[in-house]
Amino acid sequence: MSVQRPLIEVEENAMKIDLHCHSNLSDGELSPQQLVRYAGEQGIEMLAITDHDLAEPLPEANAAADALAIQLVPGIELSANWGNVAVHVLGLNINPVSAALGPIVERQAAAREQRALEIGERLAKLNIQDSYQGAKAQAGTSRIGRPHFARFLVESGVVKDVKTAYKKYLGAGKVGDVKTHWPAMEEAVQWVHQVEGYAVLAHPAKYNLTRRKLDRLCEDFKEAGGDGLELVSGMQTADITAYHHRLCEKYELYASCGSDFHGPVSSWHDLGKMAPVPGACRMIWECWA
């Protein structure tokens, strides 16, 4: 009788893994090193820092991770377009010293800058002046993004909080949702593979798609060479988890999980805080563990 290797069982409170979070290299609050220390406090054993459209070697964060016995997985979160839907593709376990990385990061930085200028122009047409300069000031030395526009809109009194800023101006389908400058999703997947990583479709529930459309997105993502789906993104309902699980099985995508933590102040989900992952999933970290 042959013994089949069982799928990895992930129990609740099993190894604590968070494969999606942001440092202050993009729009997070903590430095990569602080993020690793914070992960240590949360009992996290495997952590991927996935800053928006950039990645670099993180010697200090790596040293902190080694000291805390945390496996630090190099990552990136790429903005891309699927038709007229802006999607995010995570690159996990990438090679942060790959020669292919520089041109990708440069290209995304240029797209981000152009997009920010366009968001500023669009908001100006709604009589919200100088938002580009305001967001730029919020960003400081970081790459400009929508969270910086959100903080500007709050501080200048246009909206009462960040949530409202997204709801009225910056979220999917709103005036500040400018996406024409990003690469196509297929290209983003190719980039991840060029830098030796695994491509994972991030937070599938955040695109406000119907189930039929999300199904098509997953089909196209697989077709493009995508490797995994972020089955669990922070706290989510068991219903959503079950649905994402079915999509993973249907399109033979590995499952990933992450909090999308941006920092203690601005995050809706704490680092490592997420819904349980179903036991029968094939997890993306099996690919490199």
Of 228, 221, 229, residue with least CA distance to 187: 221
Structure tokens at 179: 């996406």
Task: Show the beta-strand stretches assigned E in the chain.
Answer: 17-18, 46-49, 71-82, 85-92, 198-201, 228-233, 254-258
Rounded to the nearest whole angstrom, what is the least distance from the CB of residue 12 to Mn ion in the complex? 24
Residue among 278, 215, 232 nearest 18 (CA): 232
Length of the chain: 289
- For 59, the token pair is 């010697």
What tokens appear for 275 in the block?
Answer: 């819904």
Nearer to Mn ion, 162 or 175 (CB): 162
Q: How far is the CB of 24 from Mn ion (least distance, A)?
A: 11
DSSP symbol at 175: T
Nearer to Mn ion, 146 or 245 (CB): 146
CB of 11 to Mn ion, least distance (A): 26
Least distance to Mn ion, CB of residue 145, Å: 6
Q: Which of 168, 170, 181, 107 is nearest to 138 (CA)?
A: 170
Nearer to Mn ion, 83 or 279 (CB): 83
Q: Which residues are CB-contacts of 41 (< 8 A; sequence separation ≥ 6)?
A: none
Interface contacts to Mn ion, rule CB under 5 A: 27, 77, 88, 202, 260
How many whole angstroms separate alpha carbon 129 and alpha carbon 80?
A: 28
CB-nearer residue toward Mn ion: 4 or 170? 170
Cβ distance to Mn ion smaller for residue 203 or 245: 203
Q: How far is the CB of 25 from Mn ion (least distance, A)?
A: 11
- Are the C-beta atoms of residues 7 and 36 closer than 8 Å to each other? no
Nearer to Mn ion, 68 or 162 (CB): 162
By beta-carbon proximity to Mn ion, the closer residue of 1 and 221 is: 221
What is the spatial distance between Cα 89 and Cα 87, in angstroms, rounded to a whole number?
Answer: 7
When CB distances to Mn ion are compared, the closest residue is 88
Shortest reach from residue 146's CB to Mn ion, in Å: 8
* Partners of 86 in the β-ladder: 81
- The minimum distance between CB 88 and Mn ion, in angstroms, equals 4
